C-alpha cells in the first residue's frame, strides 16, 4: 500500500516536518502572501493539501515540472 497517496492533508505539525520550516516562518510567509494559506476544514483546524505544498516547494527549488 502506497502511503504517499493516502496522506492528502497536512496539519501544521506534519507541514513543519514535511517542509523543514518552523511554524512561525510558515505563518509569516502566509501573511506575506508567499506561502499557500491552506484550508480551514473545521473551526480552528487548518490543513494544507500535500500536493499543493509539493508543487510550491518544486517551484521554489526551480523544478517547474
Domains for the chain: give ranges and CATH numbers. Answer: 8-60 (1.10.238.160)
pLDDT for res 14 = 97
User: Cell numbers 491552506 correspond to what residue?
Assistant: 38
Cα separation, 8 vs 58, whole angstroms: 17
pLDDT for res 64 = 66
Cell of 50: 500535500
- Residues of the chain below pLDDT 50: 1
pLDDT for res 2 = 56
* pTM assigned to the model: 0.81
pLDDT for res 65 = 56
User: Cell numbers 501573511 correspond to what residue?
Assistant: 31
Q: What are phi and psi of 57, to 5 degrees?
A: -65, -45
pLDDT for res 58 = 94
Amino acid at each position: 500500500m502506497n502511503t504517499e497517496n493516502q496522506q492528502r492533508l497536512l496539519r501544521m505539525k506534519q507541514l513543519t516536518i514535511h517542509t523543514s520550516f518552523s511554524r512561525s516562518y510558515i505563518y509569516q510567509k502566509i501573511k506575506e502572501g508567499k506561502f499557500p494559506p491552506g484550508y480551514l476544514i473545521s473551526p480552528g483546524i487548518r490543513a494544507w493539501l500535500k500536493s499543493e505544498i509539493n508543487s510550491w516547494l518544486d517551484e521554489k527549488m526551480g523544478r517547474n515540472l
